[in-house]
Amino acid sequence: MSWDDDDFQVPTLPPEEAEEEYRPPRGAPSTSAAPPPTDDDLEDRPVLLLELTALAKQLDEEDVLLVRQMLVTALHGSFAAKSAELLRSGHCWHSVRWKVEADQEAREEQMPEGVFTVVEYPREINGVSVSALWDTVMRRTEWEALDAAKDRVAASALALPTKADLCVELEALADREAELAARRAAAAGRLRSLKSERERTVERVARQHEGRSNGSPMSAKAAASVQSMLDSLDGHLAEAADELEQAIADGGADAPEGARSAVDLLLDLVFEAAPRPLWAAPAEFAVEMAQRQGELRRMWASTFGRLPAASERALAYAPRSAAERCRAGGKGALLVPPPPSVQAVPSAQATRALELTARAAAAVWNGASARNDDG
């Protein structure tokens, strides 16, 4: 029976296993573009973890929920300045969404009487996207030493704009040092190559002269040719030496032995704001931070070949290092008042400033609540 017969029927086929449902491979292009993730979707986004009980005691307020509302109101009035004050107060810590729950549990174990809360950052701080600021802090580079330093910045008790500023400064310094190291290496390599070529030329001429059978002197024409070749090499050698000298001069001086380098000053700002765990003794913590800073310092010097000297202006704003504070047996003081973006406020002043801000915010909030109740 053929398929074109009038009584043709499709034969019954034996049963087969159900065909596996088709799934496109991962990464297959979609027919419609998915919307970009919003800040609310990002797990790697900074947040603040606050302990409210101690802050409530300082503000002489029993209602921790009211204290939270006061703090949130104050923060969103001037997030950069107020978050910096809170982070310096010792009752607020930096975290990120994906690990803030674990951070809170760890704090609660150490402070079982404490009441903790998480405060989100606004979408912008001083007109700059929080996502852009955080990306600046967290973006990876080609240098392990720089990434390690940026990780320390990320974990520090500094306001987010200050963290971004420090990371930009570290990246710029690394770029300059890498370019300088490449220039110096290239100039030094060219100088070595030209010196070797001149030595080989002199040796070759000497061998040729010694191999002459009759021992007659080199002809005037040959001698002039050799001298011209050596003069040309000497000219290139002088250019290469000048190039190397210029590369060394352009990068500025290396930091003298035992002096604070430009890298040290930036790391000082970061480690000054290293959050101390509750279980760590202050003296032991200072020693540990000095060791960690020393490790980063050595990594930087190994990566870029040197530690550049700090400018006089930078040295004028330099805080004392953790090692110096440890040797002195105390926190110490700044050499001169630092720039506003990194100014360190003593804890008593910070607490008082926070109290006044919170009180003002509470008055505004209570007034708004009363108006709502009357309405």
Summarize pLDDT for 307-355 with one digit per residue, the tens. 998 877 667 656 655 445 444 443 333 333 333 444 333 344 444 434 4
- Per the structure, the complete domain to which residue 101 belongs is given by 44-122+356-375
Residue 139 pLDDT:
94
- pLDDT over threshold 60, residue 375: no
**Could you tell me if 42 and 131 are in contact, meaning their C-beta atoms sit under 8 angstroms apart?**
yes
pLDDT band of 365, cuts 50, 70, 90: very low
Cα 301 from Cα 307, distance rounded (Å): 6
Of the chain, the percentage scoring pLDDT greater than 70 comes to: 69
Angle in degrees, CA 136, 138, 143, rounded to 5: 100
Question: Mean pLDDT over residues 89-97, rounded?
Answer: 89
Question: Of the candidates 250, 278, 294, which is a domain's last residue?
Answer: 250
Closest CA to 47 of 106, 128, 120, 99: 120
Which pLDDT belongs to residue 320? Answer: 58
**What's the confidence (pLDDT) of residue 48?**
94
- Report yes or no on 20 lying in a domain: no
Q: Is residue 94 assigned to a domain?
A: yes
For residue 156, pLDDT over 50 is answered with: yes
Asked which of 215, 250, 285 is the last residue of a domain, the reply is: 250
Number of domains the chain contains: 2
Question: Does residue 187 belong to any structural domain of this protein?
Answer: yes
Domain termination residue (choose one: 218, 250, 282): 250
Question: At 373, is the pLDDT very low, low, confident or very high (cuts 50, 70, 90)?
Answer: very low
Q: Say whether pLDDT at 358 is over 90.
A: no
| pTM to 2 decimal places | 0.66
Question: What pLDDT is recorded for position 316?
Answer: 66
pLDDT at residue 287 in the model = 92
Q: Report yes or no on 341 lying in a domain.
A: no
At 265-277, the pLDDT tens digits run 899 989 989 988 7
pLDDT band at residue 60 under the 50/70/90 scheme: confident
323 domain residue, yes or no: no
| Residue that wins the pLDDT comparison between 366 and 97 | 97
pLDDT digits (tens, 9 = 90+) for 135-146: 999 999 999 999
Confidence of residue 187 (pLDDT cuts 50, 70, 90): confident
**What is the structure's pLDDT at 267?**
92
Is position 315 within any domain? no
Q: What tens digit of pLDDT does each residue of 164-181 get?
A: 999 999 999 999 999 888
Mean pLDDT of the chain: 75
Query: What is the pLDDT confidence band of residue 12, given thresholds at 50, 70 and 90?
Result: very low
pLDDT tens-digit profile of 234-257? 888 888 887 877 877 777 778 888
Residue 368 included in any domain: yes
In a domain, 293, yes or no: no
